[in-house]
Structure 1
Amino acid sequence: MSHQNAVPVWDPPVCANDADITFASCDKVLFKIHSSNMKAHSEGFSPPDGTSISTSDEIVPLTEHAATLDLLFQFMYPKKQPDLRKLDTESLLELAEAAEKYQVFAAMETCSRQMEISYKTHPVQALLYASQHGYPEVANAAAKDAVYLEPVVVYEGLLSDSRATVAWVESINAHFETPLS
C-alpha cells in the first residue's frame, strides 16, 4: 500500500525529526514517533519480546483519524496531557477506543474518567464503551441512566455487545422492582 499522498502536518515535540517510526492515519497524515516512548507507554505499539521495531522508511498505516492519533500520541510524551473535557462525545469515544486498542495506559485512564462524566448525556455510548472495556462503575451508572430512554434506541445502540444489553436490562429490572414511596 502506497502512502505517497500522505502529508505531514504534525509539529514537534511529538512529530520529531529523529523519531524512528512513521505512522499514517486513515486520512493520510503522517506521525513520526519515538519507539522508546511507545514501548514505555503502550502495550499495543510495543513489538513482541525478542523482536525489534523496523527502522526502515516504512510507513505503518493505522485505521484511526489524525485528530484521534494526535491526541493519543500526546499521551506517550513527557508533556502536559490534552484536556479531554473540550472534546465532543464522538471524539472522546474514538480516542477511548484507540487507547484501549493500543493499550496506551495514561490515555485509557483519562478516557475512562471522562466517560464517567459523559454518561449523563450519552448513557448508551458510555454503557457500550464501559462494558466492552471493563469499567463496571461507569457501565452501572450509564445503565441506570439509560433506563429512562426509549428502549428501541438503547437496544439498537447496544446490539454489538451482549454484556451492555444485559447490564441495561438488569437496571430496568432493578428500577421497576424498587417500591415507590
Structure 2
Amino acid sequence: MADAAENSTGAKDVQPIRQSEIFNAADADVVIRSCDNVEFRLHKKNLEFLSGGFPPADTETNPNEIVRLSESGETLEVLFQFMYPQRFPSLDNMKIDPLIELAETAEKYEIFALIHICELHLRSFMRQHPREILRFAAKYDHRELVKELAPILVPYLPLSELADLLPAHLYKPWSLYRAHWMKEAILTIANSHPHNCYERTDKTIIGNL
C-alpha cells in the first residue's frame, strides 16, 4: 500500500511506490524504500563490503520486510551506484543542496569512496556557499575544508557565530588565524593611511569583532 502524507490543507497526498530503474535485481535479498517511496532491490553483500554503516550480509532478515530509510530516492540512487562494481556517476551538475545531502548520507552510511568524491566537489562551491560547507565540514570533522574556508569567511564571519558550530579543536586554530588576519589588516590600513589609521581601524576592523 502506498504511503500517505498530509498536505497543508489536512488532506492526504498518496505517494505511489516507485521502483528504481537501476536497482531492481531479480535475485535481490534486501529491499530498501526511500522516504519518498522509491524502492531499491539490492544485494546485502554489496551493502556490507562497500560501506561501514549497513549490517553484515549474514544478518537474518525477513524476506518480506522492507527497510525504510529517511533519505530521498534521488539521493539513494546516487549513493547505491557507489556500492556496486560499475562506473561511478558524475556529480558535475549537482547543485549545492543535493550535494550536501548526498555527502551527509555518505557519512552516515560510511561509504568512503563517495565521501572523498563529495568533498572534492564541495570545493567548487566554496566561494558561493561557504557557510553551508563550513557547517558540513565542522559536523563531520573535514579539517582541510575548514582550513580552506578560513580565508574566505574570516573577514566577515564573527567568532560569535562559530561558538556553537566549530568543535574546540577547530575553534581554537580558527580564532588564532582570525587574530593574525586582524593584525595584518590593521597594519595594512595603518601603512596606507598613517594620519587617520586609528579612526579607520575602529570603523572597518574593530567593529567586526
TM-score of the superposition, structure 2-length normalised?
0.72
Q: 1:126 to 1:30 in 2, by over 3 A?
A: same
Please report how far the alpha carbon of residue 141 of structure 1 lies from its aligned counterpart in structure 2 after TM superposition.
Answer: 0.9
Alignment of 1:160-171 (within 5 A): 161-163=165-167, 166=171, 169-171=175-177
* Unpaired segments ≥5 residues, structure 1: none
Aligned match of 1:75: 82
CA deviation after TM superposition for structure 1 residue 151, in Å: 4.2
Conserved 8 A contact 1:47-1:53? no
**CA separation in 2, counterparts of 1:107 and 1:44?**
13
Cα displacement string for residues 47-88 of structure 1 (whole angstroms, at most 9, x for unaligned residues):
39xx61415111111111111111111100111112112110
Match status 1:173 vs 2:179: yes
Aligned to 2:19: 9
- Provide the secondary structure at the position in 1 that maps to 2:24: coil
What amino acid does structure 2 have at the position aligned with 1:84?
L
Residue of structure 2 equivalent to 1:94: 101
* Matched length: 173
Provide the rounded CA distance (Å) in 2 between the counterparts of 1:46 and 1:169.
Answer: 41
8 A Cα contact 1:127 1:140, kept in partner? no
Alpha-carbon separation, structure 2, partners of 1:160 and 1:63: 26
Task: Indicate the SS of the match to 1:80.
Answer: coil
Cα separation, 1, equivalents of 2:19 and 2:69: 16
How well do the aligned residues superpose, as a CA RMSD in angstroms?
2.6
Specify the code of the residue in structure 2 equivalent to 1:173: A
Moved over 3 A (4+): 3-6, 148-152, 167-171
User: 1:110-159 deviations in whole A, cap 9, x for unaligned?
Assistant: 1111123322221111112122222211111112211244649x92xx57
- Whether 1:18 aligns to 2:24 is no
Structure 1 vs Structure 2: percent identity of aligned residues?
31
Matched, 1:64 2:71: yes
* Corresponding residue SS for 2:19: coil
2:140 is aligned to: 133
Quote the offset at 1:4 in angstroms: 4.0
Task: Answer 1 or 2: which has greater strand percent.
Answer: 2
Answer yes or no: is 1:114 the counterpart of 2:112.
no
Contact 1:123–1:143 at 8 Å: present in 2 too? no
Q: Structure 2: which 5+ residue stretches go unaligned?
A: 4-15, 192-209
Decide whether aligned partners of structure 1 residues 141 and 4 sit closer, same or farther in structure 2, where only a CA change above 3 A counts.
Answer: same
* 2:34 and 2:69 in contact (8 A); partners too: yes
User: Does the 8 Å contact 2:31/2:42 carry over to 1?
Assistant: yes
How far the C-alpha of 1:16 sits from its partner, in A, is 1.5
AA of the residue aligned to 1:67: E
